[in-house]
Copies of this chain bind each other. A is one copy, B any other.
């Protein structure tokens, strides 16, 4: 799966505004609208583009507390155990296994501190979890690329 310069500029244009018209993008990158659509279709088929979504203000939707939770798991826990266990929590936005002391770090959104604490307790009670360590977000300084890679 190799993207050339044209593909990257198309993805960049879509990252700025996913509802931009193919003709608009075509003007930016120097292609006709159908040519852009064909490339976008190909990028989707290849899996480079996985979908289109909306960027929201967390607070406006009632998510006013955010934090990172480092998870220390039992020694025989597989990454897939963690993924399956956490996928039942809508408050968990992302989870990754990591290097270092902790086994995984997860990003948690909650309505308020009380909600955050409840989620934390439920997660800490999962059979594969030994202990957790959480840091709360004081202020989100930068939120670029909607949490993904630079595009």
Interface residues of A in 121-144 (CB under 8 A from B): 135-144
Do A93 and B149 touch (CB < 8 A)? yes
List B contacts of A92 (CB < 8 A). 142, 144
Q: Which one of A53, A63, A145 has the greatest number of beta carbons of chain B within 10 Å?
A: A53
A: contact size bracket: 35 or more
Say yes or no for A46: interface residue by CB 8 A criterion.
yes
Q: How far is the CA of A19 from the CA of B37 in the complex (A)?
A: 13
Kindly list chain B residues whose C-beta atoms are within 8 Å of the C-beta of A96. 66, 137-142
Query: Is A105 in the interface zone, CB < 8 Å from B?
Result: yes
Q: For residues 1 through 34 of chain A, which have their beta carbon under 8 Å from a beta carbon of chain B?
A: 1, 3, 8, 11, 14-19
